[in-house]
A and B are shown apart, each in its own frame.
Chain A
Amino acid sequence: MKCKIFISSVGQDSLVPLRNSMYETLTGLGHEPIMYEKPSFGLALPGESSVEQCLRLVNESHIYLLFIYTAAGSYLKDANRTVTHLEYIQAWTSQKYMQIFVEKSVLQYYFQNVRSQINEYVASYEQINGTLPDCGDVFRHVEDLQHKGVLQPLVPTDPYIWALLHDIIDIHKVMVQEIALGVPKDWGSMFSDILRQGVVLIPRREQSEENERLASSYQDFTDVISSVMNKLSIREITDQRGFLSEIRSSLKGGEIKQVLGNYAIIPQGDFRDCSAVVLFKRSQDSIICEEADGRTSISPGASFDLSNQDSFVAVTYHLASPDPVLFYKESKQTFYLTLRVGEYIISFHFPAGRTWSIQKFKSCESFIYDGIMRVHGNALTIRYVKSVLRGLQS
């Protein structure tokens, strides 16, 4: 079965030699290139529009190649995008292996002059509207900038190209390569490297399938335990210190990422593995530390006044949230996740990376919470602890 390779670009005269050279090289290597002008493109299916045919062929391909220069091509008003952009989006959503090449001067102009303008616009749009602008908004903005002479690329460039590059590079975070038209490129070496990457994985196919089977069985086991825990009441923890220690060592650190829209992910900072877990229990008007494990100054027997609103333990008790509350203290550079279950409170301490501050915490708090819960099995572990503490209520 031949490898189908879709060659995508605007039908621009300056790109014709490059497209043809790529087509011939790929045919010579024994692959099946698919390109608009060539017989391999075939005919549209009955009832299929030419755009639908393009997208179907992208979907049926194994590799997607895109060449970008100064022309944007046909713009479809109802899609707010050009045909070439739709082809790219089809390849992206279908998780195709892709290589994207941008002419050198266009790419340099984007990074040096356009990108900062778009980023400012996006930030301002989000602040005003609470959402990200869509591609059409970005296009109209850069089109306006170009008309006003703010953007003046040396080679006349369709402003839609900037919106396209923003989508690829800054929203989807796809790597692009620069290419100089007229300078021959060693396509053979590039495809040899792609072959190498694939071939390394082929002998591991069986192991991957077996791993998926094992992962499924672990997932099923987790589901059973979760379901069974609701039907149990654990009355005693015979080794509290040991229990907290096991819990602490299973809670892992990771990276906090800000997710914008559907795709853009911006790293914000990291947090480290859980450094301490402390268990408290209410006793009349006080909250007493029952046990502690890890690096903490709180020791068993330490008492906190329930009416003391400066204490995270008391605040957690009074908030009575069914899910963990997130605390942060800049001077300690630590995130504290605290959970009340009946008369018990448990706190999980995660050292914060050095880049964190009060301001950053304020702007990223929901991402911090998401980040801690998403890492490793943190959410499952905390839910398990919640089930255990539920049973301990006297």
Chain B
Amino acid sequence: MSNVYVLKDGKIEAANGFISKDALLFATPKRSIDDFIKQNKEQFKENQASILKGIEESKRR
């Protein structure tokens, strides 16, 4: 189901059919800000572990 709506003549409607370029469309969030921050942090830790492991491996003789 589409999450996108249009403001039309004082009403909020599903964004179907013809929509003027001047119309304001909006979508409500599917994820919270905290979700993004948590995901970025997890990605950072994963990347960091991979980079440090690679550096250690490259030092082996």
Contact = CB atoms under 8 A, between A and B. Distances in A.
Binding between chains A and B: yes
Interface of A: 1, 95, 198, 202, 205, 208-209, 212, 215-216, 219, 223, 226, 308-310, 312, 315, 319, 321-331, 358, 361-362, 365-366, 369-370, 373-374, 379-380, 382-383, 386
Nearest to A373: B36
Given A215-B48, A315-B7, A330-B22, 18 more contacts: A95-B50, A202-B58, A219-B41, A308-B10, A310-B10, A319-B28, A325-B29, A326-B27, A329-B23, A330-B21, A331-B22, A358-B19, A358-B21, A362-B25, A366-B3, A373-B31, A380-B37, A383-B37
Contact of A365 (B4, B52, B60, B61): B4
A331 B19 CA distance: 11
Contacts of B2: 362
A316 B22 CA distance: 18
Contacts of B40: 374, 379
A379 B36 contact: yes
Given A205-B55, A216-B48, A369 B24 contact: no
B26 A326 contact: yes
Contacts of A386: 33
A202 B59 CA distance: 9
Contact of B52 (A212, A322, A326, A328): A212
B27 A208 contact: no
Which 9 A-B pairs give the minimum distances between C-beta atoms?
A365-B27, A379-B36, A330-B21, A323-B29, A373-B36, A331-B21, A327-B26, A309-B10, A331-B22
Given A309-B11, A310-B7, A374 B36 contact: yes
Given A309-B7, A331-B21, A323 B27 contact: no
A219 B44 contact: yes
A309 B22 CA distance: 15
A105 B21 CA distance: 47
12 contacts: A212-B48, A309-B10, A312-B26, A315-B7, A328-B24, A328-B25, A358-B25, A362-B2, A366-B27, A373-B36, A380-B37, A382-B33
Contacts of B55: 205, 208-209
A209 B58 CA distance: 12
B3 to A, nearest CB: 6
B54 to A, nearest CB: 8
Nearest to B4: A362
Nearest to A339: B33
A362 B28 contact: no
B1 to A, nearest CB: 12
Q: How large is the interface on B (under 10, 10 to 19, 20 to 34, 35 or more residues)?
A: 35 or more
Most buried by B among A202, A216, A328, A380: A328
Contacts of B31: 323, 369-370, 373
SS class, residues of chain A in contact with chain B: helix
A304 B23 CA distance: 17
A148 B43 CA distance: 46
A315 B12 contact: yes
Contact of A1 (B4, B32, B60): B60
Contact of B25 (A205, A308, A329): A329
Contacts of B11: 309
A125 B6 CA distance: 29
Nearest to B10: A309
B13 to A, nearest CB: 10
A117 B1 CA distance: 28
A86 B52 CA distance: 27
Contacts of B30: 366, 369
Nearest to B25: A328
A362 B24 CA distance: 12
Nearest to B34: A383
A361 B10 contact: no
A322 B15 contact: no
Nearest to B37: A379
Contacts of A315: 7, 12, 26
Central interface residue in B19, B25, B29, by most chain A CB within 10 Å: B29
Contacts of A382: 33
A360 B30 CA distance: 18
Contacts of A366: 3, 27, 30
